[in-house]
């Protein structure tokens, strides 16, 4: 959803030009059906990747000066930094602040001033009101904000102009699940372990070497360890595709 928001808000791409699909395995594909995007070479695509990941962002160039900073209403990375800072400062424990490289005294000051931080966003944010927070600390906070708001995409797939992308309604060879298009307004309710099942009938007897407990549709299966059993076709296919099962040989009748 962060990727789609960035495509709309920062790149001016309409949702009519965006197709979203579950890949059939571990992620989602976002297709941009746009003539300008179609002509981009790998270098231009790399620039987009860097932008989405927030690589090389300079806090000063994003509005962070001595006593000022970006607002929640700002567009682009300025707004993302503000939102990420808001989230980080108000939800992170002192231990997590220290793990992020923030000194103990500054981390303690942030925890103690949370009410002021919350109130500050109604105006210009906490940039000039927090006591004990210097430029170096702000830079560390900004870096955490960028990490929270960056879009984690597959950089290799995005920059490769020669890669083949699986067609919709075809099976993924590592799961037996379908690549299936998902309406953008339905993605948060989409359940790939229910909505992308291809084999809904029949059963198959398989010998399973080792598999953890897993869910397909509304049913749970496993854990399995060196077992021969008859399963509905969908979970049997998943185990076969994952290489942890084989089709059981029929015993010859005497």
Q: How do the pLDDT tens digits run along the chain, 254 residues long?
A: 999 999 999 999 999 999 999 999 989 999 999 888 889 999 999 999 999 999 988 877 777 776 678 888 889 999 999 999 999 988 889 999 999 899 998 899 899 988 888 888 888 788 888 777 888 888 888 899 999 999 999 999 999 998 888 899 999 999 999 999 999 999 999 999 999 999 999 999 999 999 999 999 999 999 999 999 999 999 999 999 999 999 998 654 44
pLDDT at 203: 95
Residue 254 is predicted with a pLDDT of 44
Q: What is the dihedral of CA 37, 182, 172, 166, to 10 degrees?
A: -20
Pairing of strands 28-32, 18-22: antiparallel
Cβ atoms of residues 24 and 166 within 8 Å: yes
Domain ranges of the chain: 2-149, 199-247
Q: Is the dihedral of CA 235, 238, 243, 244 positive or negative?
A: negative
- Look up the pTM and report it: 0.82
Cα–Cα distance between 33 and 75 in angstroms, integer? 24
Please give the angle made by the CA atoms of 152, 25 and 11, to the nearest 5 degrees: 35
pLDDT of residue 244: 96
- Where does the chain show beta strands of DSSP type E? 18-22, 28-32, 180-181, 203-211, 214-216, 219-221, 224-232, 245-247
d(CA 218, CA 74): 43
Is residue 33 within 8 A of residue 17, CB to CB? The reply is: yes
- Is the domain spanning 199-247 CATH 2.40.160? The answer is no
* Short-list 42, 58, 45, 43, CA closest to 11: 45
Work out whether the CA dihedral 230, 236, 240, 242 comes out positive or negative.
negative
């Amino acid at each position: 959803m962060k990727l789609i928001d960035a495509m709309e808000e920062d790149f001016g791409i309409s949702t009519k030009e965006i197709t979203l699909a579950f890949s059939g395995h571990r992620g989602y594909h976002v297709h941009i059906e746009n003539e300008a995007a179609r002509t981009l070479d790998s270098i231009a695509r790399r620039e987009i990747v860097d932008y989405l990941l927030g690589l090389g962002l300079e806090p000063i160039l994003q509005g962070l000066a001595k006593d000022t900073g970006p607002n929640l209403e700002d567009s682009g990375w300025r707004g993302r930094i503000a939102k990420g800072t808001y989230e980080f400062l108000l939800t992170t424990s002192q231990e997590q602040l220290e793990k992020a490289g923030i000194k103990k005294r500054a981390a303690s000051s942030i925890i103690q001033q949370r009410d002021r931080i919350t109130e500050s966003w109604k105006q210009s944010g906490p940039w000039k009101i927090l006591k004990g927070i210097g430029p170096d600390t702000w830079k560390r906070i900004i870096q955490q904000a960028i990490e929270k708001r960056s879009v984690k995409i597959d950089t290799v797939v995005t920059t490769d102009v020669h890669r083949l992308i699986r067609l919709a309604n075809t099976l993924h060879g590592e799961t037996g699940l379908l690549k299936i298009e998902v309406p953008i307004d339905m993605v948060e309710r989409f359940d790939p372990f229910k909505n992308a099942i291809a084999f809904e009938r029949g059963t198959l007897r398989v010998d399973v070497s080792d598999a953890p407990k897993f869910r397909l549709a509304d049913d749970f299966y496993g854990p399995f360890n060196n077992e021969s059993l008859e399963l509905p076709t969908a979970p049997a296919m998943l185990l076969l595709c994952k290489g942890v099962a084989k089709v059981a040989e029929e015993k010859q009748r005497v």
